Amino acid sequence: MDLNFSQEEIAFRDEVRSFLDTRLPRHLADKVREGAHLTKADMQEWHAILQQRGWLASHWPKEWGGPGWTPIEKFLFENECAQAYAPRPVPFGTHMLGPALIKYGTEEQKRRWLPRMLDGSDWWCQGYSEPGAGSDLAALTTSAVRRTDERGECYVVNGQKIWTTLAQHANMIFCLVRTDPQAKKQEGISFLLVDMKTSGVEVRPIITLDGAHDVNEVFFTDVRVPAENLVGMENKGWDCAKYLLTFERTDIAGVGQSVAALSRLRQLAGTVHRGGRPLLQDPLFAARLARVEIELENMKTTNLRVLASAARGAAPGVETSILKIRGTEIRQEITSLNRRAMGVYARPLPEASPGDGQSPGLSAPQGAASAAAQYFNQRKLSIFGGSNEIQKNIIAKMMMGR
């Protein structure tokens, strides 16, 4: 396999760079650079800019409003966005549900929901994890009972979801629900689209260790969902869920984000001094930096192999689990090294004042205010999207038959 980019791919990369130079708002790039919290308005602004260019739904074919990119072009786009400090588009609609609907949805569902994802009419969130069903997602207990009422066929949903990212902004949620409590765990699950404004839906915030409000609890009490909001076949929602998770896990791996973050970390370590010399010359720090750099280069090669395979029509399989494990471990190590490089300038708590822990007469490195918060926040990477321990079980079963 040739891992070098073709002339056409290099030209596409240059086109992306030109677009980012001219269309990426400076205030959004500055926020991403500093690790600052992005508001709903910030995310909607970048969503609209990408959609205007036709580059929002990078996984989608042209017939449904996507750019029709090859896997390599998608990789190049994400890598350049990370280098330019562009916000990552909210993934739940266009990056996750969209491809699942294109594969499993009816024509009516595609015509109804896909355009609304693109124009921003709907903000989606993901209803998978539950208090007793996180890593073992198939143990979920949120129920959906099919009934007929004066308005027709529907499902009545009762239960709870947790760690629901950005549910406070969402008007729609795609949910895994149990429609056959007597079936084996994976065989009794269905995939439903639920309007968050429906009576009986309640969202409660969860404030994480970094002080941010990104995740929530969502409660369902006798929530009526029209039967036409079932995606795929009843009791076969696990197939749809697994397909969607391949996109989520690849996104979590964040190859482009790691490449950009490592480049910034190396620059920082060359300017910060410890004991009268640059941190890059500290043997222990340099060894850890070299190790993560080698691991990232290996993962980049693996990612390109997966992309080349996908370009030939192969379906993603165990490779997504491998990328998820290595990608999240690398991202966590980079944030750990970044916090160490910031030293006393890294605020230990989000509410700390700008001068806390800083030495008089010295200026803090760029990004110091968010270094500790990012470190704490990234602890979740190896857990969500299917914990790394679960991914190792998947690899063992698929590759070694165990």
Enzyme catalytic residues: 248
Q: Which of 134, 249, 131, 230 is nearest to 177 (CA)?
A: 230
**194 C-beta neighbours (distance < 10 Å), count:** 25
